[in-house]
Amino acid sequence: MPIGLNLPSNILPIEGIELGCISAEIYRKKKRNDLSIIKLAEGTGVAAVFTTNQFVAAPVEVAKQHLKEKSARYLLINAGNANAGTGARGFKDAKISCESVAKLTGCEIEEVLPFSTGVIGEYLPLVNIQNVLPDLLSDLSKDNWMKVAEAIMTTDTISKAYSKQVEINGKIATVTGICKGSGMIRPNMATMLAYVATDAAVDGIFLQDILQQAVNKSFNRITVDGDMSTNDACILMATGKANNSLIKNCESDDYDAFYAAILDVFSHLAQTIIRDGEGASKFVTVKVENGYSQQDCLKIAYQIAHSPLVKTALNASDANWGRILAAVGSAKAEYLDINKVNIFLNDVCIISNGERAANYSEEQGQAVMQLTEITITIDLQKGNESETVWTTDLSHDYISINADYRT
């Protein structure tokens, strides 16, 4: 069950964005909506980041290529089939799916971006997709954000969406986003798809900078299991329909307020992925504070977040703090003084200056570990850098979900 997570509410439409979904019978386990489309108004700015996995899926290759050539008008998304590990045929199938949309809409093939998520190593059922495209396009509506959020799910147990409004130059701008992801989640993107749109007017080149900054503080700070997918994509769209003064750079009026809204949406969506992590029973925040460098902070945070021993202790609600201590030391941070390290479970100090805190008791640690939301704080006392990573525990259910994924 998702940790502290309910179905999204008050999801706001974005002027210039329409969405639709339908069943193309791609999803193997049952008939459900599994093919979605997002239509972008002409002139919409589009920024994107993708998986850093070298074994990249065909739709990612095609989307990257198309973004270099044209401005996107349609995003075609399927669940249930990753179209990864499918070689030349997979690339051709992704191109044909884009061509099929282009023929029906009158746009150019390069103006269509394909996205896929699901089982790796199986060919895309092109005929299924082509057969339902006319009906899919007739389902387009500005109010279909929640329908599409559900249609892109795979092992997710709950749809993920969030909206935020902000005033820019006296105009109200809206930011709305959806995402999917539950397992095979690792920093530098993960088995996740995310689509965030705003009606704010933003310079197209600067939009990419905004996206990269927001991703680095949100989707690149989550991890369920340390495994990186072949299909990740995160898209940020700006339609300009709010008619605010163009945001061109960090010096633009109200940039700070706008970026804060963007980051709020990205961070909320990223955390919903962790709260719905496969088999998760704990939502865990790992904070590394007062480090000498950002790199040291991230090394330690991820070492803790990826440690099977730490994660299984969390699942068992076992205050075995020695596992956290060992993870800090094994991270090989460049500037680590073990005699200065403080470690906290929520507000309970367990390690003070490198050794067990004088006032710590097992009962205190056990009380924290029984909670469903836990913060592990590592105070390095070496500098001014801090980083935060969100993760889950590791449960028997995680093993079952992934053992049974294809059966």
The verdict on whether 191 is a catalytic residue reads yes
Rg of the chain (C-alpha set): 22
Q: Virtual CA dihedral for 129, 140, 212, 94, nearest 10 degrees?
A: 20
CA nearest neighbour of 149 among 204, 192, 183: 192
Lay out the sheet containing 160-168: strands in order across.
45-50, 233-238, 193-198, 171-180, 160-168
Catalytic residue among 44, 155, 176, 191: 191
- Beta carbons of 163 and 12 less than 8 angstroms apart: yes
Geometric angle at alpha carbon 181, from 186 and 2, rounded to 5°: 110
Helix (H) or strand (E) holding 63: helix 58-69
Distance (Å, rounded) from C-alpha 124 to C-alpha 95?
11
In the 8-state DSSP scheme, what is residue 244?
P
CA nearest neighbour of 184 among 136, 88, 117: 117
Phi then psi dihedrals of residue 33, to 5 deg: -60, 125
Distance (Å, rounded) from C-alpha 207 to C-alpha 47?
6
Give catalytic residues, as residue numbers.
191
